Amino acid sequence: MAIGGSFDNEGGEMSEINMTPLVDVMLVLLIIFIMTVPVLTHSVKLDLPRAQNQPNEAKPTTVNLSITRDGALHWNEETLDETTFHQRIAAIAQQSPQPEVHIRGDRKVEYERVIKVMAEAQRAGVLKLGFVTEPGQ
């Protein structure tokens, strides 16, 4: 007597799908789902205070520092000397929120000059510092 059905030939494979493991897995998942749903929906009833709120529309400002080929420093199109630069960079480091500082160095300017400007900005406490470049071709 054969268990699980009859076969047409002795060497053939059984063509029936065993559904028992699938049903077992689905029942376990159903039990897990039933147990977790009340935990997820449970909340404490509170009467929270109501307040009017206006969105903060503070637009971040940017400062463009340009270093020309001869090493001259420009602050938003205005040429600066070293002492004025030190004063201005220290002043924006104290602002809250700090403006972003974008450094634009000429392709032919000495690398050391750009690094000195960047180091002075970092020493003053500027947190948002970026470099502006043109995409390569």
Domain ranges of the chain: 75-131
Average pLDDT over residues 89-109: 90
- Separation between Cα atoms, residue 76 and residue 74, nearest integer Å: 6
Instruction: Provide the token pair at 65.
Output: 């520092």
pLDDT tens readout for residues 4-38: 555 555 666 777 888 888 999 999 999 998 888 87
- Separation between Cα atoms, residue 90 and residue 122, nearest integer Å: 10
- In this prediction, residue 42 carries a pLDDT of 66
pTM over 0.85: no
Query: For residue 64, what is the enclosing H or E element?
Result: strand 62-67
Question: Looking at the predicted structure, is the pLDDT value of residue 1 above 50?
Answer: no
pLDDT tens readout for residues 60-98: 789 999 999 998 999 998 999 999 999 999 999 998 888
Q: Determine the CATH number of domain 75-131.
A: 3.30.420
- Separation between Cα atoms, residue 29 and residue 35, nearest integer Å: 10
Planar angle of CA 14, 20, 24, nearest 5 degrees: 155
Planar angle of CA 125, 128, 133, nearest 5 degrees: 125
Coil, helix or strand for 70?
A: coil
